[in-house]
């Protein structure tokens, strides 16, 4: 789907089996050398900007931009296989299964993940089985030994399994020393690599480019100053570092289950199995152990219900106009997303209506446009925004939301609950759906306020 969309936007110019082999920069941009591996020839491409989305394989080294952080958190071996595991993987509400097998350690004995491609529940056709190995354990490199351990951990010595690929990889927690080198912007795994615990790798990559692309579009159209492009690093680096910290903490938090079970690598397998018995036998230690395990599993919500990490992250930079309101103290900065229109926060979701049709307010932020949402009596803001947009060729949609006399009807009061502004106030949302400016109430001169706010955000003078 992504490929079809990219080819639709850029016909005949999405090129597979082409490799960037060289890159030089000057004042007007970048000269890249590309090898067409099918034709066996090199050619050059001149570009104003480059998005380095190479997983950290080439461009960082070419420009001398390094990465810092822990590099050897855990060694993993992953087996991609086809098998019918439906007789055992019966619960279709489970996505990922952590198998604790005392013969092979604790929580990372085996992690079983469905891979579809057509079905993703218990009848998934393909699976990946991840196993942790000690860094110095040479068995991780021996495919036959890896498969013996996989079958033993699964408890399925005779199951019909077709193995497609076995790969080894190391969990690291590194971040690029710089997210921008003149005309080059590092995104995704080229900017940060961390454990998959929490599923934040590709998600953070998408967040990166979502943050960057509207800024590049504004700069290329001559609507923004270069300083707007610097806010890519100042906004994303903090969030990506927080994501790295979070994913490492998630990986380590699996060991709380082992602690609750009292499993230890220093014990014999027999001792470790004995530690599990109070779970399925009623012994004097059973109540305490079951409660401890229950708590340890509950604590995994930091990985599996981390809504504030996934959605509630905030930005602070020159592309956000601070309204002077105090920082909000989160109730739980990991698990709980608390909607807010304080500048720097993602615009809260709300269903509103137009001609009886239900519309998520967030979908009105699209096509690279800013969205100005005023209260029901904020028509002055809308008028000022439309004039400013026309005078400066700015992509900006302006509307009011409220109960009576507004462009969109807040039938369920979903917006009112979170909008954080009064009837004459306004929220200005960036094309990446982040609140850039807010006025809680009316101001003497909305046109002057908006001009100053947008000039600040776009780092360019406005008429």
Applying CB under 6 A, the residues found at the interface with ligand FAD are: 19-20, 53-55, 57-58, 78, 169, 188-190, 196, 199-203, 205
Query: What is the nearest approach in angstroms of ligand FAD to the Cβ of residue 35?
Result: 8
Q: Which is nearer to ligand FAD, 53 or 359 (CB)?
A: 53
Does the CA dihedral 333-339-343-346 come out positive or negative?
Answer: positive
Q: Which is nearer to ligand FAD, 191 or 382 (CB)?
A: 191
Contact predicate 84/242, CB 8 Å = no
Q: Which is nearer to ligand FAD, 54 or 233 (CB)?
A: 54
Q: Which is nearer to ligand FAD, 193 or 289 (CB)?
A: 193
Altogether, the residues listed in the chain come to a count of: 463
Q: Which is nearer to ligand FAD, 62 or 440 (CB)?
A: 62
Residue 22's nearest CA partner among 55, 67, 63 is 63
- In three-state secondary structure terms, 154 is helix
- What residues are paired with 34 via a beta bridge? 20, 43
For residue 32, the number of C-alpha atoms closer than 13 Å in the C-beta half-sphere is 20
Strand-strand pairing, 74-82 and 41-47? unpaired
Q: Which is nearer to ligand FAD, 131 or 154 (CB)?
A: 131
Query: What is the nearest approach in angstroms of ligand FAD to the Cβ of residue 92?
Result: 19
Query: What is the nearest approach in angstroms of ligand FAD to the Cβ of residue 18?
Result: 6
Query: What is the nearest approach in angstroms of ligand FAD to the Cβ of residue 122?
Result: 19
Q: Which is nearer to ligand FAD, 96 or 413 (CB)?
A: 96
CA dihedral 311, 317, 319, 323 (to 10 degrees): 90
Query: What is the nearest approach in angstroms of ligand FAD to the Cβ of residue 72?
Result: 15
d(CA 165, CA 84): 17
For residue 90, what are the CA distances in angstroms to 87, 110, 153, 390? 6, 17, 17, 60
For residue 162, what are the CA distances in angstroms to 119, 153, 159? 17, 17, 10
> Closest residue (Cβ) to ligand FAD?
188
Q: Which is nearer to ligand FAD, 169 or 311 (CB)?
A: 169
Q: Which two tokens stand for residue 322?
A: 């601070």
Q: Which is nearer to ligand FAD, 197 or 340 (CB)?
A: 197
- What residues are paired with 29 via a beta bridge? 26
Query: What is the nearest approach in angstroms of ligand FAD to the Cβ of residue 61?
Result: 10
Which of 409-437 are b and which e, b meaning 16 or more Cβ less than 10 Å from the residue's Cβ?
bbeeebbbebbbbebbbbbbbbbbbbbbb
Q: Write the secondary structure of 410-460 as one string of H (helix), E (strand) and C (coil).
A: CCCCHHHHHCCCCCCCEEEECCCCEEEEEECCCCCCHHHHHHHHHHHHHCC
- In three-state secondary structure terms, 261 is helix
Query: What is the nearest approach in angstroms of ligand FAD to the Cβ of residue 124?
Result: 15
Query: What is the nearest approach in angstroms of ligand FAD to the Cβ of residue 130?
Result: 6
Query: What is the nearest approach in angstroms of ligand FAD to the Cβ of residue 222?
Result: 29
Query: What is the nearest approach in angstroms of ligand FAD to the Cβ of residue 428?
Result: 30
Q: Which is nearer to ligand FAD, 141 or 391 (CB)?
A: 141
């Amino acid at each position: 789907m992504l490929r079809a969309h990219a080819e639709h936007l850029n016909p005949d110019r999405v090129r597979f089996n082409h490799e960037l082999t060289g890159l030089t920069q000057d004042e007007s941009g970048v000269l890249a050398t590309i090898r067409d591996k099918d034709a066996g020839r090199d050619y050059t491409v001149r570009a104003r900007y480059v998005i380095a989305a190479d997983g950290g394989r080439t461009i960082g080294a070419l420009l001398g931009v390094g990465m810092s952080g822990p590099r050897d958190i855990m060694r993993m071996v992953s087996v991609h296989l086809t098998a019918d595991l439906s007789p055992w993987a019966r619960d279709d509400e489970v996505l990922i299964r952590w198998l604790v097998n005392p013969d092979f350690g604790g929580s990372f004995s085996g992690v079983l993940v469905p891979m579809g491609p057509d079905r993703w529940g218990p009848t998934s056709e393909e699976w990946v089985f991840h196993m942790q190995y000690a860094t110095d354990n040479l068995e991780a490199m021996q495919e036959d030994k890896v498969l013996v351990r996989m079958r033993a951990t699964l408890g399925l010595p005779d199951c019909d399994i077709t193995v497609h690929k076995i790969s080894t990889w190391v969990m690291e927690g590194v971040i690029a020393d710089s997210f921008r080198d003149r005309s080059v912007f590092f995104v995704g795994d080229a900017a940060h690599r961390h454990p998959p615990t929490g599923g934040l790798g590709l998600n953070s990559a998408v967040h990166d480019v979502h943050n960057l692309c509207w800024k590049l579009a504004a700069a290329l159209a001559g609507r923004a100053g270069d300083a707007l492009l610097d806010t890519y690093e100042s906004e994303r680096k903090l969030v990506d570092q927080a994501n790295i910290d979070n994913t490492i903490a998630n990986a380590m938090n699996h060991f709380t289950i082992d602690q609750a079970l009292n499993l230890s690598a220093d014990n014999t397998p027999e001792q470790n199995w004995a530690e599990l018995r109070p779970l399925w036998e009623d012994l004097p230690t059973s109540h305490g152990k079951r409660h401890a395990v229950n708590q340890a599993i509950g604590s995994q919500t930091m990985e599996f219900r981390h809504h504030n990490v996934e959605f509630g992250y905030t930005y602070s930079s020159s592309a956000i106009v601070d309204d002077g309101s105090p920082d909000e103290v989160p109730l739980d900065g990991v698990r709980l997303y608390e909607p807010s229109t304080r500048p720097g926060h993602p615009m809260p979701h709300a269903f509103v209506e137009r001609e009886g049709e239900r519309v998520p307010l967030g979908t009105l932020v699209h096509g690279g446009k800013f969205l100005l949402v005023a209260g029901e009596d904020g028509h002055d803001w809308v008028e000022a925004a439309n004039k400013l947009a026309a005078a400066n060729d700015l992509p900006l949609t302006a509307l009011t939301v409220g109960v009576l006399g507004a462009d969109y009807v807040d039938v369920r009061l979903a917006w009112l609950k979170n909008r954080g502004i009064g009837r004459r106030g306004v929220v200005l949302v960036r094309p990446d759906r982040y609140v850039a400016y807010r006025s809680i109430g009316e101001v003497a001169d909305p046109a002057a306020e908006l001009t100053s706010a947008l000039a600040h955000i776009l780092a360019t003078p406005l008429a």
